[in-house]
Amino acid sequence: MQTKANNVDPQEIEKFSAIASRWWDSEGEFKPLHLINPLRLDFIQQQCDGVYGLRALDIGCGGGILSEALAKAGADVTGIDLADAALQVARLHALESGVKVDYQLISAEQFATQHPEQFDLVTCLEMLEHVPDPAAVVKAAAQALKPGGTMIISTLNRNLKSWLLGIVAAEYIVRWVPKGTHQHDKFIQPSELLRMTDAAGLQAVTMTGLHYLPWRGFYLDNHNVDVNYLVSLCKP
């Protein structure tokens, strides 16, 4: 069931809540996020010339894998999500790690209305493919961003290859993530994402693909955004 009014799919929230306790198990359901996190942190650091001292908003932060990494790198981080169980895990883990992150249970749209143009960096990683109306989240993310700020979005492209690798391989063969984690029709092609970011008044700076090869592990490739990809944008 989707409640489009507040732009959340309760089944998605239940799915992430049910496995929230294992968020920080680097061999568990979130293993791929743990593995890609250093790469995406590097990309974000490059795009912002370092995150030290930046005010950052992490939309759809879940258990806080990226939020904590940004905080450890010196950003002042607020993480928002609608899965309470994930936020509880995130808060406990931050205490254990000794990092300060402000975690809040609130939608992106509501948060952005309350905090317009307050963040130097807004991140929204692996989240848009789980919401009924991704364009509304992009718009909210842009509203929270200061003029001159940087936004980083990552999601999954929609094509045969992303179905084979992102769903068939990841959920049924290698079983890195639980079955049903992703729905292929919710994946977003780069052209569709750029239409959303354009409409939100953002300018694309660069785009890169995130890939996996068994003998190489995860790596970034600017020339191939077939499956998972990251986009950096700025707000003029």
Please report the DSSP string for 47-91 in residue order: HHT--TT-EEEEET-TT-HHHHHHHHTT-EEEEEES-HHHHHHHH
Residue whose CB is less far from ligand SAH, 178 or 190: 178
Residues 6+ apart with CB under 8 A from 46: none
Quick check: 16 binds ligand SAH (CB under 6 A)? yes
Per the listing, tokens 């700025």 go with 234
CB 166 within 8 A of CB 154: no
Q: Which of 19, 41, 54, 65 lies at the binding interface for ligand SAH (CB under 6 A)?
A: 65
Residue whose CB is less far from ligand SAH, 218 or 223: 218
Quick check: 79 binds ligand SAH (CB under 6 A)? no
Joined tokens for residue 192: 């569709």
With CB under 6 A as the rule, give the number of residues binding ligand SAH.
Answer: 21
Quick check: 62 binds ligand SAH (CB under 6 A)? yes
Q: Which of 13, 174, 207, 220 lies at the binding interface for ligand SAH (CB under 6 A)?
A: 13
Quick check: 68 binds ligand SAH (CB under 6 A)? no
> From CA 227, how far away is CA 210, in angstroms rounded?
7
Residue whose CB is less far from ligand SAH, 146 or 186: 186
User: What are the angstrom distances between the C-alpha of 115 and each of 6, 78, 108, 232?
Assistant: 18, 11, 10, 21
Residue whose CB is less far from ligand SAH, 136 or 165: 136
171, 172, 176, 182 alpha-carbon torsion, rounded to 10°? 0
Quick check: 165 binds ligand SAH (CB under 6 A)? no
Kind and range of the H or E run holding 125:
strand 119-125
Q: Which of 70, 71, 86, 188 lies at the binding interface for ligand SAH (CB under 6 A)?
A: 86
Q: Which of 83, 135, 138, 156 lies at the binding interface for ligand SAH (CB under 6 A)?
A: 83
Residue nearest to ligand SAH (CB): 62
Catalog residues that contact ligand SAH under the rule CB under 6 A: 7-8, 12-13, 16, 33, 60-62, 65-66, 81-83, 86, 107, 125-127, 130-131
